[in-house]
Amino acid sequence: MKKKSPSRRSFLKLGIAVGATALIGSGSKLMSAITGLESPESGDKVKVLTQDGKMVEVDSAHLCCQPVSNMEARIGIPNKKMVMVIDLAKCRNARKCLQGCQGMHNLSPQMEWIKFYLMRDSQDTAPYWFPKPCLHCNNPPCVKVCPVGATFKRTDGIVLIDNERCIGCKFCMAACPYSSRVFNWEEPPATRPGDPKKYSPENSVPARLGTVSKCDFCPDSVRKGELPACVTSCPNGVFYYGDKNEDSVTNGNETVRFSEMINDRAAYRFMEELGTEPSVFYLPPVNRSFDYKVGFEGLSDAEVKLYKEEAKITF
């Protein structure tokens, strides 16, 4: 019996999936695309970034990345160099990015992998909001002090923690000049039905009592061609994420060349004088979209007072 040749539609689907993820495995969905026997679509559309820097919507059924081993998780995604750009002019302290992060990683409310500060450069300038995830340094002090190799840097620039190795000594917390790490003092929330069945440093789920955790740059999402939760949850397009090697970053609605954005808009890296070489770049708060006072909405009087004191606001 003559085998049915793959349909043009199947090849198009395969092409989109490969271009979106660049890391698709040899699972059943890929085989369906090759043989022309199409798997049913799930109806769940996800935005993915193609290799040429374009945003496309793909049915999640056609993203067929295979789970990676712990060794692969420690090495990183080949030929990638992940970077983030944060536009301070757009931030209004909505904290939706934090909520998205906590939901993605099944974190308890008190576990905050993204911190928010009200910054003020001088007494003559207006304050602005400053979100700070882990900066995924290219020269990370945290990695150097870990006595058991629990925290490590990958070839794609992402710094992760393996909580199966972490002994809770907090050396990494003391070494981090950005206070990006948090300690799991309480028993983490119960695993949810949709959570990964097996722990990996790439998904950080489930968390473990007595270990350190932090922003992980969502490498499990990157392998599927998806954007981190903080990027997709932000209503104002503050976070841009992408691959430095491809010279492309996106906030989900706008895709730009990384090199042009950081050069044309005078991007800087926070406390770069420390020699840590962060992978997170900040765009100065020029032509701000919001008055800083909007960020006080929903906060208690005590929280507002603390923010004002930190920014030395007396009016």
Angle at 132 between CA 127 and CA 134, to 5 degrees: 165
Tell whether the torsion through CA atoms of 182, 186, 188 and 189 is positive or negative.
negative
CA atoms of 96 and 233, how far apart (whole Å):
6
Regions of the chain short of the pLDDT cut 70: 1-56, 58-67, 315
Residue 198: predicted pLDDT: 87
Residue 68: predicted pLDDT: 77
Domain 70-283 has CATH 3.30.70.20: yes
Residue 231's identity, in one-letter code, is V
- For the chain, the structural domain boundaries read 8-62, 70-283
Tell me the pairing of strands 128-132 and 182-183. Answer: unpaired
Which helix (H) or strand (E) segment is 239 a member of? strand 239-243
Residue 144: predicted pLDDT: 97
51-70 per-residue burial string, b: 16 or more CB within 10 A, e: under 16:
eebebeebbebbbbbebbee
Residue 59: predicted pLDDT: 64
Residue 22: predicted pLDDT: 38
Q: Find all residues with CB under 8 Å of 183, minimum gap 6, and list them.
A: 168, 170, 173, 211, 212
Q: Find all residues with CB under 8 Å of 55, minimum gap 6, and list them.
A: 47, 48, 49, 250, 252, 253, 255
Indicate the SS3 state at residue 65. Answer: coil
Residue 36's identity, in one-letter code, is G
Q: Find all residues with CB under 8 Å of 30, minimum gap 6, and list them.
A: 14, 17, 24, 64
* Among 231, 313, 234, 233, CA closest to 280: 231
Q: Are 196 and 216 in contact (CB under 8 A)?
A: no
Residue 100: predicted pLDDT: 97
Residue 272: predicted pLDDT: 92
* Among 244, 269, 261, CA closest to 158: 244
Residue 21: predicted pLDDT: 40
- 217 by Cβ neighbours in 10 Å (0-12 / 13-18 / 19+) ranks as buried
> 250 vs 97, 290, 312, CA distance in Å?
15, 21, 34
CA atoms of 303 and 88, how far apart (whole Å):
21
Residue 34: predicted pLDDT: 24
Residue 48: predicted pLDDT: 57
pTM of the model: 0.79
CA atoms of 137 and 251, how far apart (whole Å):
21
CA atoms of 66 and 70, how far apart (whole Å):
13
- Tell whether omega for the bond before 40 is within 30 degrees of 0, i.e. cis: no
